[in-house]
Structure 1
Amino acid sequence: MKSAVETLNPTRVRLTVEVPFEELKDSLDAAYKKINQQVTVKGFRKGKIPARVIDQRFGRGAVLEEAVNDALPKFYNEAVNEAEVNPLGQPEVDITELKDGELLAFTAEVDVRPTIEIPDYSGIEVEVDAIEVTDEDVEKSVEQLRERFASTNPVERAAAEGDVVTVDLTAKVDGEVLPDGIADGVSYTIGSGELLDGIDAAVTGLEAGGEATFTSELKGGSAAGKEAEVTVKVTAVAARELPELDDEFAQMASEFDTLDELKADSRKRLENMKQFDQATQAQERVLEKFLELAEIPVPEKLLEDEVNTRKHNLEHHQLGQMGLSLEKYLELQGKTVEEFEAETKEQAVKGIKTQFLLDELVSTEKLNVEQDELTEHLFRRAASSGMSPDQFAQAVVQGGQVPMLVGEVARGKALAVVVEAAKVVDTNGEVVDLSDDEDEVEAAAETVEAVTGEAEAAEEK
């Protein structure tokens, strides 16, 4: 077999391949065998029809077509290996010559990973938010804990903000009660905003047995997004009572003996959260600077697949679970279709460039993924998916996604290398040292995953 490669542009090549006919022998034998199993000819047992009879009855062309279709993937892969290119997606194959007994020639155009030169990232500088936990932050955190331990007591008075009411709801659209428009015994805290728009005003001032009607846009169900006439009947009113903020509360709500110890722990937890947010912010901003330094061409077909994948996942998975259409989502976001299209394309380009650049850095720096790093990443991905580690691991193996997880960790390690080389200062002018963060690689992997999104899935497709 002879092959040659022609670079059409930085992300696409054309392979020209010539195959001597004798190299098709195995595929021709397989073609005759396959046709033998599919057809019947009077006078011959099934599977025992001679090749000359198949040629006479069904045509040599049918045999050649079957043989070529069987052989093309093998010769294409050999040509790809000879050319030392990294193909993306499926090739566009054109058979340019097929001479029976002499020659098979074809061309294959395919997108390839571009050659990327890693820029000098040692001079990257970014600024991040300083870690500041105020007394107000601590008080708010303790108050949220206090809310969780609130009790309710029935009262015989009109409902007011903060009260917990038990209500029966009936929703009508165009005067007809919806099939799923009746809900009885619903518990709702007035002012929480966790139910329908307009319900707070409707139930405030009502006593048990009181009833009101209001108009609201339904957020889910069979008529999601439609205006409905909702009748609400209050069946019970209960006042929420918060526990006193004292040492007794600290002992009830935590492992601490005093309120001061509880507050100190809250401050420490808030500092840890802000430290994590600061590290994530540093990674995101360093990645932005790193991408700006590099020249990274993006294959058109890969970009098209990535954009379509992001749109599909948003519309049919994320929004579908919330009972929202894309049109309603854009309305809520205050975006036009054109703005959404441009934003999605921009995110897709960034995701693809991030993957290409960090993969190249992984190769250049010869970064390896250790078993414990992969295990930790698997545990975190399992937790975010709501599956047990065993279930998630089984799904990953069955889906052939182990290389994808390895790639995520490797890119996280690559980004961590760039972040460690960068100068990071906070808004107070203090230098931020992220090298002591034990979870730096895993956090970087999560940052990369948030940016790349479906890029790897689109590439594999």
Structure 2
Amino acid sequence: MQVSIEATSGLERRLTVGIPAEQFDGEVEKRLKEAAKTVRLNGFRKGKVPLKVVKQRFGASVRQEVMGELINRSFYDAVKEKDVKPAGQPSIEPTETAEGKDFEYVATFEVYPEVDVADMSAFEITKLIAEVGDEDVEKMIDILRKQQGTWDVVERAANDGDQVLIDFVGTKDGEEFAGGKGEDQKLILGSGQMIPGFESGLEGAKAGDKKSLDLTFPDDYHAEDLKGAAVTFEVTVKEVSEQTLPELNEELFNKFGIETDDETVFRTEVKSNMERELKNAAKNKLKTQVMDKLVDANEVEMPKALIDAEIDGLRAQMAQQFGESAQKMDLRSILPDSMFEEQGKRRVALGLIVGEIVKKQDIKVDQDRVKSMVEEIASTYQEPSEVIDYYFSNQQLLASVESVVLEDQVVDHILSVATVNEEQSTYEDVIKPQQEQ
């Protein structure tokens, strides 16, 4: 086998592989002879079909089959010989396939880049410290009660926290705009569901009132034609309802999976869940901060094949929200690459950087941490032991946990060499999503 390789541009490589004619043609001949022993053709007895006839009928397909197998086998031998690591699948183009001549093909592919990780001891990291206080628990219990509350129509003006039933029409420059109309819409005042000024503008309104609200869309609104736009909403209030909260009793506790009639037990369980949520949120924010530092500090040349694969994966994840109907959709037009490009590039960059740190620091997956993480996941289920058994019997699920643990170990390594400053915070601020901050 003859192998040559050249760099065409950036990370792209062009690999030319030549296989002696006797090897290619010999394998084709061997298979045709084997086929001749069993093939059935009209006018010939089984096993008596002349090789020439077998070759005429099946030669092209057998040759194609052998060609595919030779390419698969020789390609990986060739990249090993040239000590290159392909990123993504190669593009294969046979350039010489004639019988009696050396078989030759060209494989074009990208390779993984060399990553020179920046000095991580220069990183400054802020670690948020917070506790779950009694006031936090009270707020959470109030939220849980509101989730199970009932709404009763009242004959009075609407206040913050009330629910109103409304019809509305929005106009921009006197013309209705897409998405600006609704009928029989239920809206809780103060929920932040509508743009600033909409909900507060309905406080004091009664059933039957009509309100005209002159508002401005936020500058960062998702619809390009409405960013910072001045609009008017004509709103008809049809109903005002107030919420009645349920009592703290066994019926309510059971709705949240807590089998008890003791309020103290309920509060303890709620606090325990909040502490778990706080721990995970603090850990995730710390991890995100470390990963952001890695991306900012390291410029990485990224193979397009890896970016495309990440984009496809992210699109598939989002498409799951459409259910079975996704199979009938043109997902690339509904969910174009541009929606996922930035996130895809970040994930590829992090994968390459983290992979280099793992290699350089010789970090191995800590199986004790894997076991602990699986147990923590299982603890939120009614039958933890069954969940644990399921994870350890499912290699794909277990691999996903191992991947997270390995990333956590990388984060721990970086924290051990970086400057880490602790900052006192609150439960609400720590669990608040990053984009809200």
Give the TM-score, by structure 2 length.
0.61
Contact 2:36–2:48 under 8 Å retained in 1: no
Candidates 304, 307, 311, aligned match of 1:307: 311
1:44 matched to 2:55: no
Residue pairs, 1:318-337, within 5 angstroms: 318=321
Alignment match, 2:320: 317
Alignment of 1:206-285 (within 5 A): 240=244, 252-255=262-265, 266=271, 273-285=277-289
Q: CA deviation at 1:238?
A: 9.9
| DSSP 3-state at the match of 1:84 | coil
1:366 alignment partner in structure 2: 362
Going from structure 1 to structure 2, the CA distance change for 1:44 and 1:403 (only over 3 Å counts) comes to: farther
Which residue of structure 1 aligns with residue 122 of structure 2?
123
Instruction: Name the CA distance, whole Å, in 1 between partners of 2:262 and 2:397.
Output: 45
Question: Matched residue of 2:122: which SS?
Answer: coil
Of 98-107 and 138-147, the range deviating more from structure 2 = 138-147
Q: How does 1:323-362 map to 2 (within 5 A)?
A: 341=338, 344-362=340-358
Matched, 1:410 2:413: no
Q: Secondary structure of the equivalent of 2:93?
A: strand
Which amino acid is the alignment partner of residue 282 of structure 1?
A: L
C-alpha deviation, 1:129, in angstroms: 4.3
1:244-277: CA deviations, max 9, x gaps? 99xxx99832239xxxxx69995x8766644543
Contact 2:91 2:107 in 1 (8 A): yes
1-structure distance, mates of 2:371, 2:307: 31
1:419 to 415, 423, 432: 415
Match among 289, 294, 308 for residue 298 of structure 2: 294
| SS, match of residue 367 in structure 1 | coil
**Alignment CA distance shift 1:125-1:353 (3 Å):** same
Deviations along 1:273-315, one digit per CA (max 9) or x if unpaired, are 445433322221121112222231111232223223323432x
Distance in 2, Cα, partners of 1:125 & 1:106: 51
| Residues 89-100 of structure 1 mapped to structure 2, 5 A cutoff | 89-100=88-99
Tell me if structure 2 keeps the 8 A contact 1:31–1:67: no
Alpha-carbon deviations, 1:119-162, whole Å to 9, x = none?
Answer: 22122112354537677545423544665797x89999899888
Q: Which amino acid aligns with 1:290?
A: L
Question: Mapping of 1:164-183 within 5 angstroms?
Answer: none
Please tell me the residue identity of whatever aligns with 2:313. T
Amino acid paired to 1:253? E
8 A contact 2:366–2:405 mirrored in 1 = no
Q: Secondary structure at the match of 1:280?
A: helix
Describe the shift of the 1:69–1:396 C-alpha distance in structure 2 as closer, same or farther (beyond 3 A). Answer: same
When the two structures are superposed, what TM-score results if normalisation uses the length of structure 1?
Answer: 0.59
Q: Contact between 2:381 and 2:387, CA under 8 Å: does it hold in 1?
A: no
Q: Secondary structure at the match of 1:90?
A: strand
Which residue of structure 1 lines up, in the alignment, with residue 21 of structure 2? 21
Q: Which amino acid aligns with 1:79?
A: A
> 1:22: Cα distance to partner?
3.6
Equivalent pair of 2:294/2:350 in contact (CA under 8 Å): no
1:59, CA displacement in angstroms? 7.0
| 8 Å CA contact 1:129, 1:426 repeated in 2 | yes
CA distance in 1, matches of 2:401, 2:30: 41
Q: Does 1:113 align with 2:112?
A: yes
Provide the C-alpha distance between the structure 2 equivalents of 1:296 and 1:20, rounded to a whole number of angstroms.
40
CA-to-partner distance for each residue in 1:395-425, whole Å, 9 max, x for gaps? 844xx67655544432332232113322121
1:214 matched to which residue of 2?
none
Change (3 A) 1:286 1:158: closer
- d(CA) in 2 for partners of 1:385 and 1:361? 35
Q: Who is 2:84 aligned against? A: 85
- Residues 318/264 of structure 1: CA separation in 2 closer, same or farther (3 Å cut): closer
Q: Shift in Å at residue 49 of structure 1?
A: 3.4
Question: Which residue is equivalent to 1:172?
Answer: none
How far has the Cα of 1:358 moved from its partner? 1.0
1:229-248 C-alpha deviation (Å, 9 max, x unpaired):
xxxx99xx997366599xxx
Separation of aligned partners in 2, 1:28 and 1:192: 80
Partner SS, residue 4 of structure 1? strand
- The 1-side partners of 2:151 and 2:288 are apart by 48
Equivalences, count: 365
C-alpha distance in structure 1 between counterparts of 2:119 and 2:48, whole Å: 67
Does structure 1 retain, via aligned residues, the 8 Å contact 2:11–2:303?
Answer: yes
Amino acid at match of 2:288: E
In the TM superposition, residue 114 of structure 1 has moved relative to its aligned partner by 1.6
- Listed as ranges, the gaps of 5+ residues in structure 2 are 166-185, 209-237, 254-259, 426-433
Name the CA shift for 1:344/1:163 in 2 (closer, same or farther; >3 Å). Answer: closer
The residue matched to 1:122 in structure 2 has which SS?
helix
1:251–1:385: structure 2 CA closer, same or farther, 3 Å change rule?
A: closer
Distance in 2 (CA, whole Å) between partners of 1:303 and 1:265 is 42
Question: Aligned in 2, Cα 1:401/1:137: closer, same or farther, shift over 3 Å?
Answer: closer
Q: What is the aligned partner in structure 2 of residue 389 from structure 1?
A: 387
Equivalents in 2 of 1:385, 1:49: separation in Å? 66
Give the Cα separation in 1 of the matches to 2:317 and 2:9: 31
Cα distance in 2 for residues equivalent to 1:239 and 1:118: 56
Any conservation in 2 of the 1:27–1:68 contact (CA below 8 Å)? no
1:2 paired residue number: 2
> Which one-letter code corresponds to 1:305 in the other structure?
A
Matched to 1:29, the amino acid is K
Within 2, Cα distance between the matches of 1:86 and 1:381?
36
Q: How much does 1:73 deviate?
A: 0.6
**Counterpart for residue 446 of structure 1:** none
Q: CA 1:31–1:89 in 2, change beyond 3 Å: closer, same or farther?
A: farther
Aligned counterparts, 1:62-77, within 5 A: 62-77=61-76
Alpha-carbon distance between aligned partners in 1 of 2:403 and 2:347, rounded to the nearest angstrom: 14
RMSD of aligned Cα (Å): 5.6
